[in-house]
Structure 1
Amino acid sequence: MIYDLVRYQLVDENTSSMKRENVLLVSLGCSWGKCTFCDYQDDKSSSVLACDSVNKKVLAQVKGAEVGASVLEVTCSASYTELPFTTLNYIRETCRDKGIKTVILEGHYIYRDANRFFTEFFKQYGINTVFRCGVETFDEHIREDILHKGLPGVTPEQIAEYFQWINIMFGMEGQTIEQLKKDIEIGLEYFDRVNLSIYTTVKNGPERDVDAIERFYNSDFYKELKMNPAIDIYDEWDEGNEHKVGHDI
């Protein structure tokens, strides 16, 4: 079913070194669909018309040059490969009409071989493409045995061949700040940008470790990450924005 969600966000200089607009679109469904931390995968429709109806309204909110943004970040309930082709056309046309120079597409590693087609598709309109992969952690035990991410044996080097940005997640039971430090170190070594999401408990998923998250926010390491222009931090449970971080849409 299609949920009633916040689907447009302007990421400004208060929370990120890269000003950009972010849209959360409706997909045809996630073919992988096994990640235990994800509840977005239910936001979908098997109807192309239903997807397009919502997605056109969301994309109509993009302002581009009007607000000084030249980057559009596209997320959905699956991967960019699972958006209707008609929606992809709407994205491309929106970028052209609004002066967007770069589009960021998020997807699963299993779709890596399709990246070149998307690069060419947007290049036809003079739009650069950046690909972001949800890794969540480079600790393979957590990533595969607990999160069921579907990247067994895949190395950072292999991911970096196809993706320029990555998602890292912290704050679930079993994770430590030391493990997060390793993830961030690897992320910054191989990728242009790291999006760090503070974990939110989902049904049938791991529990949010409130104590570990609080220790993180009170650490010097957190202060260092906040100063790093290649890192964005998101926490949708930080409702009062006490830590002045971004919010997942």
Structure 2
Amino acid sequence: MERYSVIKEKNPREIVLLKGFNCMYGNCAFCNYILDNTNNEKEMTKVNFEALSKVTGKYGVLEVINSGSVFELNKLTMEKIKEICKKKNIKILYFEAYFGYLNRLNEIREYFSEQEVRFAFGLETFDNDYRTKILKKNFILNERVLEKLKREYQMCLLMICTKGQTKEQILNDIEQGIKHFKELVVSVFVNNGTQIERDEELVSWFLKEIYPKYKDKKNIEILIDNKDFGVYVQ
């Protein structure tokens, strides 16, 4: 288990993986990160303070993730993040926020008024049927919703190479992600004990034919393994 890391390539930043309360949604078929959630605030605060104590401010950019959304971090953790940002001269802050919090993002921007706050969200795929029926992530993307997501979120997170996906779907997802969002993180799925399974044929195809085309593009980060950012709980 690692809760602090430094990302040195493309978009250099420090990253921390914190504990939060239960995820607002918590029903995604592929997610085992919710096992890291806790309702024990004392435990949450201890774990989070320890991870945040490692932040140096070396790049002036900090990414804060947890098994859910920033809104599920407790008050003491939020205060500590604010303190660290001031102490370490953090200028840019990344947070994750689930689609259901779309209309509350300004609360975080106002709380961290001295930083540029950038939000990331897990879309997983632009294919509505696959997202809702297979991945059980229950929101529908349409033109109106997409336009709002583009305004509110800096970074889109996609997940690829799961059974049931197709090459065409993966290629379309990546191209749509590039077209609509300033930053894109593409994660190759790794089996994690959930009902969703990795498709090894798609992985082999992606690594040989597609990955070389995108790996050097500045605004795309591709995670071949879920530990590639250096923080993980499994």
Fold similarity call, TM over 0.5: yes
1:235 to 224, 229, 232: 224
Unaligned runs of 5+ in 1: 240-244
Partner Cα separation in structure 1 for residue 125 and residue 141 of structure 2 = 13
Matched with 1:149 is 137
2:156 partner amino acid: I
Partner Cα separation in structure 1 for residue 146 and residue 175 of structure 2 = 11
- The answer as to 2:54 corresponding to 1:61 is yes
Return the TM-score normalized by structure 1. Answer: 0.88
Structure 1 range deviating more: 224-233 or 171-180:
171-180
Q: 1:225 to 1:248 in 2, by over 3 A?
A: farther
Partner Cα separation in structure 2 for residue 161 and residue 150 of structure 1 = 21
Structure 1 outlier segments of 4+, above 6 Å: none
2:212 to 195, 211, 223: 223
Secondary structure of 1:104's counterpart equals strand
Identity of aligned residues (%): 31
Answer whether contact 2:2 2:230 (CA < 8 A) is retained: no
- The answer as to 2:21 corresponding to 1:21 is no
Partner Cα separation in structure 2 for residue 141 and residue 248 of structure 1 = 31
1:19 partner amino acid: P
**CA shift at 1:41, angstroms?**
0.5
**CA shift at 1:152, angstroms?**
2.3
2:215 partner amino acid: K
Q: 5 Å matches for 1:42-121?
A: 42-65=35-58, 69-121=59-111
Partner Cα separation in structure 2 for residue 176 and residue 157 of structure 1 = 26
1:129 partner amino acid: V
Answer whether contact 2:17 2:231 (CA < 8 A) is retained: no
**CA shift at 1:177, angstroms?**
2.6
Answer whether contact 1:234 1:248 (CA < 8 A) is retained: no
Matched with 2:4 is 8
Matched with 2:120 is 132
Answer whether contact 1:156 1:186 (CA < 8 A) is retained: no
Partner Cα separation in structure 1 for residue 141 and residue 158 of structure 2 = 17
Matched with 1:191 is 181
2:112 to 118, 122, 125: 122
Partner Cα separation in structure 1 for residue 83 and residue 128 of structure 2 = 39
Partner Cα separation in structure 1 for residue 65 and residue 229 of structure 2 = 15
- The answer as to 2:159 corresponding to 1:169 is yes
**CA shift at 1:96, angstroms?**
1.4
2:220 partner amino acid: I
Deviations 1:141-192 (A, max 9, x none): 1100011112124542232132111100001001123211111111112111
1:54 partner amino acid: V
Answer whether contact 1:73 1:105 (CA < 8 A) is retained: yes
- The answer as to 2:25 corresponding to 1:38 is no
1:25 partner amino acid: L
Partner Cα separation in structure 2 for residue 61 and residue 42 of structure 1 = 24
RCO greater where, 1 or 2, for CA within 8 Å and sep 6 or more? 2
Unaligned runs of 5+ in 2: none
Secondary structure of 2:156's counterpart equals strand
Partner Cα separation in structure 1 for residue 34 and residue 18 of structure 2 = 11
2:4 partner amino acid: Y
Partner Cα separation in structure 1 for residue 117 and residue 148 of structure 2 = 19
Answer whether contact 2:5 2:230 (CA < 8 A) is retained: no
**CA shift at 1:223, angstroms?**
1.3
Matched with 1:208 is 198
